[in-house]
Amino acid sequence: MGKDEYPGLVSKLNSSKDKTPVFRSVDKHKQGFLLLRLHRRDQKKLLASLQDSEVLGFLRYLDPDDATDVLQLLSEERRASLMERLSSDTREKIEFLLSFSPASAAGLMNLDYILVEKNASFREVLRVAKKYERHTGKFPVILVVDNGFLAGELHSYHLSLREPSKKIGGYIKKVPSIEYNKTKEEVISLFERHPHNKVVVLDEDDSVLGIVYSDDLLRTIRKESKDLYGFAGVKREENIHDPPWVKVKNRYSWLLIHLFTAFIAALVISFFEETISAFVLLAIYMPIVAGMGGNAGTQTLAVVVRGLALKEIELRTSSKVIINEIVAGAINGVINGVIVAAVAVLWNQNPLLGFIVGVAMIVNLVVAGFFGAIVPLIMKRLGKDPASSAITFITAATDIFGFFVFLGLASIMI
């Protein structure tokens, strides 16, 4: 099946009320790959509706690491039953992979590789690689070791270009490596620091355990998509094809919080009702001040959440991050404040209004920088997902402080 055919099948499954008949109509050798592309909840429902023989039918077409991902969705009892019916070689590999945490580097790795010594010849390497290919149906990644320790990788194209008797030592390329117990976030960080299509996973004694491919890591990230859902105040279990009542159930609680914070902002505005009535032009600039604060807070939130996810920020060093965001907010506030003040002066012919709007803009972007940094850090400290609807509280803060400063200055100076 071409790579571009899977999205069509995924869409067809997602739009079907009863997914099992549609799934069963797909060829056995495609079912496992299709299953892995579905939402986790749909994966579990499909597996629960299938017979063990059907699950075994597509498991044999999957790599051990992909088969492991499928088996982890099942109960321990059913998983054990299916494992007994797999081939001994596949069972051993899956048992090995299941022994690691799914959130660790080892939990992300696969075993499609061979180890060869640094002083081996191209003839010897080719013989080992072909043996592996006959056994698994795949050509392996060739990792080179020197006295048992990782020396690098030998690209397969050398096997057809070099003299068979020549030693491989001069053609080894460095490859990034990481300890087996490192977190998924640390694996992501390593890929970012050393752009490469693979990372080698090492055991405690620095021996090779497996390989993490960038596309496997990307698939894991896409499956979670937790930051995207968190920013929007949507539970990550929600699927795009869920019926309306499921969507309502997943979203209403955060919308009520939004509503509550909106009433607080409205209460602040009500304190300055006489000021707004006396100088109606203020109403034109209120959404500008509040909106810019919300946008700036969202930018800060995105940066801080990403830093927390990649372990670039630690709670004990967070004060520097907060100060940097406050300073950045002040500078951006000055830039935007000058622009909006100039518009107020030229458009409304009112320098005092321009000054009030400009100062309010500066203060609100400083507030946005502070709350955009502090809210996810507080959530992290409390053991909560730092992305989970933090935007609700940041928007509330920028609205409340923005309106208070803007209207407060206006009531004093106009």
Q: 346 and 376 share a domain?
A: yes
CATH number of the domain at 38, please: 1.25.60.10
| Torsions phi, psi for 197 (to 5 deg) | -90, 0
Predicted pLDDT at 242? 63
Query: Residues in the chain, how many?
Result: 414
In this structure, the answer to whether residues 269 and 384 fall within a common structural domain is yes
HSE of 298, CA atoms in CB hemisphere, 13 A? 16
Question: CATH number for the domain including 186?
Answer: 3.10.580.10
Asked if 181 and 128 sit in the same domain, the reply is yes
Kindly provide the b/e burial profile for residues 126-158, where b requires at least 16 CB atoms within 10 angstroms of the residue's own CB.
Answer: beebeebeeeeeeebbbbbbeeeebbbbbeeeb
CA pseudo-torsion sign 146, 148, 151, 157: positive
> What pLDDT does 177 receive?
92
* Domain range enclosing 40: 3-99
Evaluate the CA torsion angle 23, 28, 30, 36 in order and state its sign.
Answer: positive
My answer on whether 239 and 388 are in the same domain is yes
* Same domain (yes/no): 192, 314: no
Which residue, 161, 194, 223, sits at the end of a domain?
Answer: 223
Regarding whether 290 and 396 lie in a shared domain, the answer is yes
3 state SS for the chain: CCHHHHHHHHHHHHCCCCHHHHHHCCCHHHHHHHHCCCCHHHHHHHHHHCCHHHHHHHHCCCCHHHHHHHHCCCCHHHHHHHHHCCCHHHHHHHHHHHCCCCCEHHHHCECCEEEEECCCEHHHHHHHHHHHHHHHCCCCEEEEEECCEEEEEECCCHHHHCCCCCECHHHCECCCEEECCCEHHHHHHHHHHCCCCEEEEECCCCCEEEEEEHHHHHHHHHHHCHHHHHHHCCCCCCCCCCCHHHHHHHHHHHHHHHHHHHHHHHHHHHCCHHHHHHCCCHHHHHHHHHHHHHHHHHHHHHHHHHHHHCCCCCHHHHHHHHHHHHHHHHHHHHHHHHHHHHHHHHHHCCHHHHHHHHHHHHHHHHHHHHHHHHHHHHHHHCCCCCCCCHHHHHHHHHHHHHHHHHHHHHHHHC
pTM above 0.85, yes or no: no
* Tokens encoding 242: 């869920």
Q: Give the CATH number, domain containing residue 363.
A: 1.10.357.20
One domain, residues 139 and 201: yes
97: Cβ contacts below 8 Å, ≥ 6 apart: 64, 65, 68, 106, 107, 109, 110, 111, 210
For residue 404 the two structure tokens come to: 């208070």
The answer to whether residues 390 and 303 belong to one domain is yes
At residue 258, the pLDDT reads 67
| HSE, side-chain direction, 13 A CA sphere, residue 277 | 5
* Count: domains in the chain: 3
Rounded to an integer, what distance in angstroms lies between the CA atom of residue 240 and that of residue 247?
9
Look up tokens 């270009």; give the residue: 161
Together in a domain, 201 and 233: no
> Are 80 and 148 members of one domain?
no
Strands of the sheet containing 149-154, edge to edge, are 113-117, 141-146, 149-154
pLDDT recorded at residue 231: 45
Choosing from 171, 204, 223, the residue where a domain stops is 223
Q: Are residues 52 and 135 in the same domain?
A: no
> Among 99, 118, 143, where does a domain finish?
99
Below-70 pLDDT ranges, the chain? 1-7, 219-242, 246, 250-252, 254, 258, 309-312, 314-317, 383-389, 414
Both 91 and 184 in a single domain? no
